[in-house]
Amino acid sequence: MELWFSEEQATNIRFSFKVKEQIYSKQSDFQKIDIFDTDVLGRVFTLDGVIMTTEKDEFIYHEMISHVPLNVNPNIEKVLIIGGGDGGTVRELTKHKNIKKIDMVEIDEEVVIAAKKYLTFTSEKLDDPRVKLYFQDGIQFVKESKEIYDLIIVDSTDPIGPGEGLFSTEFYNDCYSILSDDGILVNQSESPYYLKDARELVRATSKLKNIFPIAKVYQYHLPTYGSGHWLFGFASKKYDPIRDFKNIKYDFTTKYYNLDIHLAAFALPTYVQKMIDESKIVWDNYKLNI
Ligand code: SAM
């Protein structure tokens, strides 16, 4: 008997993969955590039935969320990650010797426990001496933090459930307050393709544009996320991601990020740039309402 997993990535749109074995499943206080073994994607980690990380393409997400800001301000020393439970963002950040401190605030300790056991390809650096884990709500953490960070990475779930507040104006203002004078915020910014994701993209980006002097988005392709066309927000108090690009030749290897991709990632399709500039849904294909 064949076992398949399906995620509804948009109204009437599903993404499915064949499962070799379900190796973990647990309902935590916050969400349902599942991990599967598959032929094509390797290990796949989902939360509440939504794909978070796959062994085959997680490097794309984690390299792009980490190395872009660090190639704009190579003097970044103190980083705060909100979310990031699988550890992939930490793994990429620890490749940078200039980073002295990484605080990771993950609301659900059960995610880290599962990642340490079953997702060693992403969680392998969570025990780096520079890393400190906090198991609490990132919203509260930034509101109460007395620490000042050079970089905040919001490596969150979608704006539903515990992740919803990580897309609010209040949260972004609190992040702004604990960023240094040349601080940078990078956030998971959804996607321009399906209407529900495009709405969140426009909402998040228009909020950041009202708070930060520089607020852009950059793209990467991630085949296992809805439509494969996904974006990160780049909000900055001082540095522009293109003008201040440092073109650093790293002493470590990457499989997706490179100096050309850094520049190209900010060259957006016309309909996406228009949505960002006008802070509204502009693509007439959305009249299909999906
Ligand atoms: N890095 C993964 C990837 O490759 O796409 C996905 C992101 S990570 C799994 C998202 C994490 O955000 C989850 O572990 C979830 O528990 C966490 N999270 C959601 N809401 C949160 C909140 N309010 N504070 C802290 N962590 C939160």
List pLDDT tens digits, range 39-50. Answer: 999 999 999 999
> Exposed, middle or buried, 64 (CB in 10 Å: 0-12/13-18/19+)?
buried
Q: Do residues 230 and 191 make contact, with C-beta atoms less than 8 angstroms apart?
A: yes
Q: Whose CA is nearest to atom 17 of ligand 1?
A: 83
Give the pLDDT mean for 86-95.
Answer: 98
Report the pLDDT value the prediction gives residue 218, as an integer from 0 to 100. 98
pTM above 0.85, yes or no: yes
32-38 and 229-236: which strand pairing? unpaired
How far, in Å, from the CA of 108 to the mean position of ligand 1?
Answer: 8
* Cα–Cα distance for residue pair 120/111, rounded to 1 Å: 12
Give the pLDDT mean for 162-185.
Answer: 94
Position 290 pLDDT exceeds 60: no
101-105 and 131-134: which strand pairing? parallel
Position 94 pLDDT exceeds 80: yes
Lowest-confidence pick of 41-55, 82-96, 192-206, 227-241: 192-206
Report the pLDDT value the prediction gives residue 286, as an integer from 0 to 100. 61
CATH of 58-288, one of 3.40.50.450, 1.10.1040.10, 3.40.50.150, 3.40.50.300: 3.40.50.150
Q: Please indicate whether residue 107, judged by its CB atom, sits closer than 6 Å to ligand 1.
A: yes
Please state at what angle helix 169-177 crosses helix 195-211, rounded to 10 degrees. 40
Report the pLDDT value the prediction gives residue 229, as an integer from 0 to 100. 97
**Can you spell out the DSSP letters for 226-264?**
TTSEEEEEEEESS--TTTT------SS--SS--HHHHHH
Q: Using 50, 70 and 90 to split pLDDT, how confident is the model at 4?
A: very high
Q: Whose CA is nearest to atom 1 of ligand 1?
A: 84
Lowest-confidence pick of 57-61, 85-89, 157-161, 271-275: 157-161
* Cα–Cα distance for residue pair 89/52, rounded to 1 Å: 13
Report the pLDDT value the prediction gives residue 160, as an integer from 0 to 100. 76
Query: Which DSSP category does 113 fall into?
Result: H
* Cα–Cα distance for residue pair 196/102, rounded to 1 Å: 32
Q: Using 50, 70 and 90 to split pLDDT, how confident is the model at 11?
A: confident
Catalytic residue list contains 127: no
Q: Do residues 107 and 136 make contact, with C-beta atoms less than 8 angstroms apart?
A: yes
pLDDT digits (tens, 9 = 90+) for 130-153: 999 999 999 999 999 999 999 999
What three-state secondary structure class fits 14? strand
What is the CB neighbour count within 10 angstroms for residue 257? 24
pLDDT digits (tens, 9 = 90+) for 219-273: 999 999 999 999 999 999 999 999 999 988 888 999 999 999 999 999 999 999 9
Domain boundaries, the chain: 3-54, 58-288
How high is the mean pLDDT of the chain? 95
Report the pLDDT value the prediction gives residue 287, as an integer from 0 to 100. 59
Total residues belonging to the chain: 290
* Cα–Cα distance for residue pair 165/201, rounded to 1 Å: 14
Position 289 pLDDT exceeds 60: no
- Spell out the residues 6+ positions from residue 165 whose beta carbon is closer than 8 angstroms to its own: 137, 139, 171
Share of the chain above pLDDT 70, in %: 97
Q: Do residues 123 and 86 make contact, with C-beta atoms less than 8 angstroms apart?
A: yes
Report the pLDDT value the prediction gives residue 256, as an integer from 0 to 100. 97
Which one of 155, 158, 187, 232 would you pick to mutate in the ligand 1 pocket, going by the greatest count of ligand atoms within 8 A of its CB? 155
Report the pLDDT value the prediction gives residue 285, as an integer from 0 to 100. 66
Position 162 pLDDT exceeds 70: yes
Residue 247 has which token pair?
């073109």
Paired strand residues for 150: none
> Exposed, middle or buried, 16 (CB in 10 Å: 0-12/13-18/19+)?
exposed
Amino acid (one-letter) located at 287? K
Q: Please indicate whether residue 133, judged by its CB atom, sits closer than 6 Å to ligand 1.
A: no
For domain 3-54, the CATH class is mainly beta
